[in-house]
Amino acid sequence: MLEFIDKHYENLKQRTRHSVWCALGSACEQQALPIPSYKTFCRAVHARSGSVQTRKRQGERSAYKEEPFYWELELKTPRQGDRPFEIAHIDHTELDIELRSSRTNRLLGRPWLTLLTDAFSRRVPALYLTFDPPSYRSCMMIFRECVRRNGRLPQILVLDGGREFDSVYFETLLARYECLKKTRPPAKARFGSVCERLFGTVNTAFIHNLAGNTQITRNVRQVTQSVNPKEHAVWTLAGLHQHLAEYLYNIYDSTTHVALGQSPREAFELGLARTGQRCHRLVAYNAEFLMATLPTTTRGTAKVIPNRGVKINHILYWCEAFRYPDCRDKQVAVRFDPFDIGSAFAFVHNEWHACHSEHYLTLRGHSERELMLATEEIRRLHQDHSREYAITGRRLADFLTSVEAEEFLLKQRISDGECTGIRPSPAILDSVHATGSPAAAEGTLQMAPVEQHDVIEAYGEF
């Protein structure tokens, strides 16, 4: 009986107990052995049940939920850090609520929430809310918000296997500020339980109490027009971000946590008092940090084309520093702002220079995601099977101002406009765009002056 259970029941065929018992009866008859009853056979199967049997029948992921876990902390139990900002988790989730535009009242869909959670105190140092799916832009903004509010970054980051965490840009940023990245094993949710549990708390304690929440959509057959969350959506992204920040930074932060026996704020302050402030881990929120959070191209550099500038994402950018003879046909380090493709930065003569696009008046204020959507639409409208269609800055600029772009990109523009009010404002970079010479703090990178494009002087009749 045990041999048949091991060879015929506990395998990936997932045969039923009755079929295996029938095969056992035939084998016993051939060898003139007594046949065990079906009830006895079922008892023997249940006696072997557990993670080992589930792994043989359904695989590793199904057996994970039956593996033992830690009920209490002991000396041999892995800890979630011994002090604040030692270990932190970053993860994304799509909130269960439908939002509308504050300008046009158009339905925009469900937002994505990115949380940075301190594992020691269960505190939320930073959050970021956007309509865009998880990407390096969300990682960049959560780092900016963390430094802006706390003046430091975690020493160890626990992440899942998302593609936004596996890039040269992200690895370089962590190495620059001496942050260690640890990737959670796939399909093992308990390694991220600190952040995953907080997502559930946010939904059940806050989001599910708002108009337009999508709880009912779990039962699709029960959703009618009268109870459809899209018909009852009233919240905007800015309004939701304001109240969500109030809940996480004040209400949740001062409420007693069951696992801690005290509030996250008390655990955080007590941890700092015991282990010290560690001032050497402080990060200044200045031009140098903001420049480090800006993404770059695949190669990290761009070639200076004489009298044209550098090409980044099919768009040419120019600054006066490119006029030097030693810059011709030279590869220079470049950075660009994913939320304003009208401007970029180039590293020339040991300093960063602000560059402007050849179509600055058309492209300024448009996000990189909007540019990607426009590029895909251009390729679709101009399919050429004989040769690859080249995307140039002029075509992109013309398309962004056309009626087709207005119709296709309207939702993305509205979403980006909703995010403008809640995005951590890089005041120093804004001063670069405005004056070209920010008052950088000591020890930061110096920005070279840039020419003004907003004010056009009239010279009279030609």
CATH number at residue 163: 3.30.420.10
Mean pLDDT, consecutive 10-residue stretches, the chain (462 aa), reads 91 90 92 92 90 86 74 61 90 91 83 92 91 85 90 91 82 90 81 84 90 87 86 87 90 88 92 90 88 82 89 87 87 86 88 87 74 58 49 66 63 74 59 47 43 53 52
In the numeric block, which tokens belong to residue 272? 């700092």
User: Do residues 273 and 307 both lie within one domain?
Assistant: no
User: Do residues 95 and 181 both lie within one domain?
Assistant: yes
Global pTM value: 0.70
Asked if 319 contacts 328 with a C-beta cutoff of 8 angstroms, the reply is no
In the numeric block, which tokens belong to residue 323? 């006029």
Domain annotation covers residue 460: no
User: Do residues 113 and 51 both lie within one domain?
Assistant: no
Domain annotation covers residue 29: yes
User: Do residues 313 and 384 both lie within one domain?
Assistant: yes
Domain annotation covers residue 458: no
CA separation for the pair 77, 31 (Å, rounded): 51
CA separation for the pair 45, 53 (Å, rounded): 9
Domain annotation covers residue 461: no
User: Do residues 198 and 333 both lie within one domain?
Assistant: no
Domain ends where: 256, 283, 310?
Answer: 283
In the numeric block, which tokens belong to residue 195? 């952040």
Domain ends where: 235, 259, 283?
Answer: 283
What is the domain range of residue 141?
87-283
User: Do residues 256 and 110 both lie within one domain?
Assistant: yes
User: Do residues 268 and 125 both lie within one domain?
Assistant: yes
User: Do residues 252 and 303 both lie within one domain?
Assistant: no
CA separation for the pair 332, 76 (Å, rounded): 51
The Cα angle at residue 122 between residues 117 and 127, in degrees rounded to 5: 30
Q: What Rg value do the Cα atoms of the chain yield, rounded?
A: 29
Domain annotation covers residue 77: no
User: Do residues 244 and 331 both lie within one domain?
Assistant: no
Domain annotation covers residue 453: no
Domain annotation covers residue 313: yes
Q: What is the pLDDT of residue 391?
A: 61
3-state secondary structure 342-404: EEEEEEECCEEEEEEECCHHHHCCCCHHHHHHHHHHHHHHCCCCCCCCCCCHHHHHHHHCCHH
Asked if 308 contacts 319 with a C-beta cutoff of 8 angstroms, the reply is no
Q: Which of 352, 383, 367 is nearest to 313 (CA)?
A: 367
Q: What is the pLDDT of residue 406?
A: 62
Count of structural domains, the chain:
3
User: Do residues 112 and 204 both lie within one domain?
Assistant: yes
User: Do residues 111 and 253 both lie within one domain?
Assistant: yes
Q: What is the pLDDT of residue 258?
A: 85
Cα dihedral sign, 119-122-126-132 = positive
Domain annotation covers residue 454: no
Q: What is the pLDDT of residue 259?
A: 81
Q: What is the pLDDT of residue 94?
A: 93
Q: What is the pLDDT of residue 219?
A: 83
CATH number at residue 29: 1.10.10
- Which residue's structure tokens are 């409420």? 255
Neighbours of 319 (CB within 10 A): 23
Alpha-carbon distances, residue 349 vs 188, 241, 250, 447 (angstroms): 49, 42, 47, 11
User: Do residues 46 and 151 both lie within one domain?
Assistant: no
| DSSP strand pairing (315-318 vs 309-312) | antiparallel
